[in-house]
């Protein structure tokens, strides 16, 4: 069962998993993540079995937009349906909100292996019912392709929801300086 994580649990997941699961240019400082959880901007969940983390994710929201800030499955357990189970739970807590997911842009990948990995992630989300929106962003120098769930949302609305979440997360000054949609 998925559980909301407290600061001590988030810190352990950050140090044991996140620093390995995400590139440094995509990983927020732990203090910033904890601050967003404390002020209610983000919620952090983990699926555990016998104190072993199977998967984890954090979501940040503002209005009707629910941004998946981080999502990962324990590398030793990938390909066993845990990612799909994680997305099913995410959809259940989203209720009437739009889920927004960022994937690193395939087109700007430097190496072929990187392109394949990025495309694999996008394929995973599209198989789970997410749709490519045609919206791209650049955040702190990293290029992303944006997907949403459920389908049928216009690119303009995607930009509005996506911007609203990041304005809350970053504040206006940092948003204007480091975010391009």
DSSP-derived 3-state class of residue 168? helix
Rounded to whole angstroms, the maximal C-alpha distance in the chain is 44
Q: What distances in angstroms separate CA 13 from CA 54, 84, 92, 135, 175, one per listed residue? A: 11, 20, 23, 30, 27
The DSSP call for residue 77 is G
| pTM for the full predicted model | 0.92
* Residues whose CB falls within 8 Å of the CB of residue 154, separated by 6 or more in sequence, listed in order: none
- Structure tokens that stand for 102 in this block: 């960022």
The domains of the chain, with CATH numbers, are 2-180 (3.40.630.30)
> Of 140, 139, 145, whose CA–CA distance to 125 is shortest?
145
- What does the pLDDT look like over 40-61, one tens digit per residue? 999 999 999 988 899 999 999 9
Could you count the other beta carbons within 10 Å of the beta carbon of residue 65?
A: 24
- What does the pLDDT look like over 97-149, one tens digit per residue? 999 999 999 999 999 999 999 999 999 999 999 999 999 999 999 999 999 99
């Amino acid at each position: 069962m998925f559980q909301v994580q407290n600061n001590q649990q988030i810190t352990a997941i950050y140090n044991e998993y996140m620093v390995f699961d995400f590139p440094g240019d995509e990983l927020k400082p732990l203090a910033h993540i904890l601050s967003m959880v404390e002020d209610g901007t983000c919620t952090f969940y983990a699926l555990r079995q016998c104190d072993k983390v199977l998967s984890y994710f954090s979501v940040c929201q503002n209005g009707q937009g629910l941004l998946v800030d981080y999502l990962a499955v324990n590398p030793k357990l990938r390909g066993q349906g845990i990612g799909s189970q994680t997305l099913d739970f995410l959809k259940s807590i989203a209720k009437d909100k739009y889920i927004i997911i960022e994937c690193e842009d395939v087109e700007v990948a430097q190496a072929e292996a990187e392109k394949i990995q990025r495309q694999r992630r996008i394929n995973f989300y599209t198989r789970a019912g997410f749709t490519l929106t045609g919206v791209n962003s650049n955040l702190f120098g990293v290029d992303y392709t944006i997907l949403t769930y459920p389908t049928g949302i216009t690119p303009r609305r995607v930009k509005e929801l996506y911007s609203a979440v990041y304005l809350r997360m970053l504040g206006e000054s940092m948003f204007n300086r480091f975010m391009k949609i």
